[in-house]
Amino acid sequence: MGIKLGPVDLLIDGAWTKSSQRFPVSNPADNSVISEVADATVQDAIASVDSSHEAFKTFSQTSPRSRAEILRKAFEIMTSEIDYCAELISLENGKALKDAKAESVYAAEFFRWFSEEASRITGDFRYAPNRDKTIITDHKPIGVAALITPWNFPAAMATRKIGPAIAAGCTMILKPASETPLTALWIADVMQRAGAPNGVVNVLTTSKSSEIISTIMKDQRVKTVSFTGSTYVGKILLHQAADSVMRCSMELGGNAPFLVLEGANVDSAVAGAMVAKMRNGGAACTAANRFYVHESVSKEFSQKFGAALASLKVGPGVNQDTDLGAMVSIKERDKIVELIEKAKAEGANVISTTKVPDSGAFLSPHVVTGVKHGSVLTREEIFGPVAPIVEFQKQSAAIEMANDTEYGLISYVYAKDGAEGIKVARQMDTGMVAINRGVASDPAAPFGGMKESGLGREGGFAGIHEFLEPQYFAVDL
């Protein structure tokens, strides 16, 4: 492939800044080192807060229209360079180019959506019930935001935070995952080219996330943390945020159930299952993690789903015909292999569907039948191409099993029609439900979870409010 890499240094106060140390970024398809990026120090972290704090004084006063235009320009630049973005993602993350392209388009759409939302920030005007005063509610940008993103969607998780933060008038420090920093640095470069003033978007790449983020979160000038990642790390950050009563947005882990009810169209359910399970190679918080299939169709569903998984071509993500690329690292791949071994030890019937390249972080899709609810694959977030299938008899039991988890991000329901789908969806303890379809994510929809899957919503009308503080004026008019 050989694309020309973009920035590899820190972005602080509008300047690409070298750090005293660097760390390597690898291509998981062949374990080669792609590049070395700056490894931020505590001093760099403090400098990025200084810069965002200073920039906020003027950026928070800019017109919504001017902020909208920065985001619109960023959308246009990203769209015109979409193939480059996809190749960069695939190179450092390992995912198939098809997935990387889909992510790039999705990521750019957050800039478009929030460019449209910037000038639609609402307020409220009403009289107090006894009419002794007028109640005016305004919204002001919250201030400096710390944005922390995972490796599985290196572009979309960044734009889903940068977009609303800019639209609201906030300044920010983005800390991408250490496995995929190059895409975030390129997006920061897009923001600079789109006209984001110096200090509005700062980026710290680091191999010492804990130290750098705790430095930032201890700083009283930082007003909110927007995190996407595991529930485990989310809880650490919530504890840290308590010290300064910092606002938190948390997009955390998932354990999505996928229900195929009696009377559902099996072919549609298999097509939906392929998307819900295999989008991003299964490395998505929204990935269908466990399949509950009615006994009347479970055999047919398992056979057709297994055949569809077996038809996938596994190989280096950068090859045009690859359906499933490498996992992000050998370490992540081996975590999934360990879950597969535990499932075998529990007596499940595990079938590896496809031959994969010997070297690199590859993993065949697996279909697992004879799974019992409560076993390891129904409890743990798999984050890879493994599909455990549990058979059920009664719809009420399927709903109970679906909700029997500490997670509550998304569920999938295949029903005989939309009305039955909605009836079942209302009983799901998840922030999102996809009904008779395999994907729900959309920049215009409120993305987020219940229970330990998170706090707050990204995207939709709600997303911008994560970066706004309501302020009420009591006034006699």
Cβ atoms within 10 Å, residue 333: 20
Q: Could you say which of 92, 251, 381, 391 is catalytic? A: 251
Q: Where are the alpha helices (DSSP H) in 60-176?
A: 64-80, 82-93, 97-118, 156-168
Among 6, 154, 163, 254, binds ligand NAP (CB under 6 A): 254
Per the DSSP assignment, residues forming a β-bridge with 406 are none
Binding residue for ligand NAP (CB under 6 A) from 182, 184, 233, 432? Answer: 233
d(CA 263, CA 228): 37
With 0-12 / 13-18 / 19 or more C-beta atoms within 10 angstroms meaning exposed / middle / buried, residue 130 is exposed
The C-alpha atoms of residue 157 and residue 176 are separated, in whole angstroms, by 9
Is the CB of residue 432 less than 8 Å from the CB of residue 426?
A: no
Residue 174 makes contact with ligand NAP by CB under 6 A: no
The count of residues interacting with ligand NAP (CB under 6 A) is: 28
Closest residue to ligand NAP, Cβ-based?
229
Looking at 85, 170, 248, 285, which residue is catalytic? 285
230 binds ligand NAP (CB under 6 A): yes
Mention every residue, 6+ apart, whose C-beta is less than 8 A from residue 432: 286, 409, 410, 411, 440, 445, 447, 448, 449
**Residue among 174 and 413 whose Cβ is closer to ligand NAP:** 174
Closer residue to ligand NAP, CB minimum distance, 109 or 391: 109
**What is the nearest approach in angstroms of ligand NAP to the Cβ of residue 237?**
6
Residue with tokens 């906020």: 56
How many CA atoms lie less than 13 Å away from 270 in the CB half-sphere? 17
380 in catalytic set:
no
Residues between 284 and 313 with contacts to ligand NAP, criterion CB under 6 A: 285
- Let me know if 285 is a catalytic residue: yes
Member of 7, 454, 456, 460 binding ligand NAP (CB under 6 A)? 454
177 in contact with ligand NAP (CB under 6 A): yes
Q: Which of 71, 377, 409, 413 is close enough to bind ligand NAP by CB under 6 A?
A: 409
**Piece of the chain touching ligand NAP by CB under 6 A; list 97-105, 151-159, 313-321, 337-345:** 151-159
Contact region for ligand NAP (CB under 6 A) — 8-16, 36-44, 45-53, 247-255?
A: 247-255
Instruction: Determine the Cα–Cα distance for residues 143 and 468; give it in Å rounded to an integer.
Output: 8
Residue-wise DSSP of 365-419? -EEEESPPTTSHHHHS---SSEEEEEEES-HHHHHHHHH-SSEESEEEEE-SSHH
Q: Is 225 in the site for ligand NAP (CB under 6 A)?
A: no
Q: Which stretch binds ligand NAP (CB under 6 A): 88-96, 115-123, 228-236, 272-280?
A: 228-236
Q: How far is the CB of 272 from ligand NAP (least distance, A)?
A: 20
213 near ligand NAP (CB under 6 A) = yes
Distance CA 72, CA 25 (A): 31
- Does residue number 150 form part of the binding site for ligand NAP (CB under 6 A)? yes
Alpha-carbon distance of 109 to 97, in angstroms, equals 18
Question: Which single residue is written with the structure tokens 């993690």?
Answer: 289
* Enzyme catalytic residues: 251, 285
Q: Which residues bind ligand NAP (CB under 6 A)?
A: 148-153, 157, 175, 177-179, 209-210, 213, 228-230, 233, 236, 251-254, 285, 381, 409, 449, 454
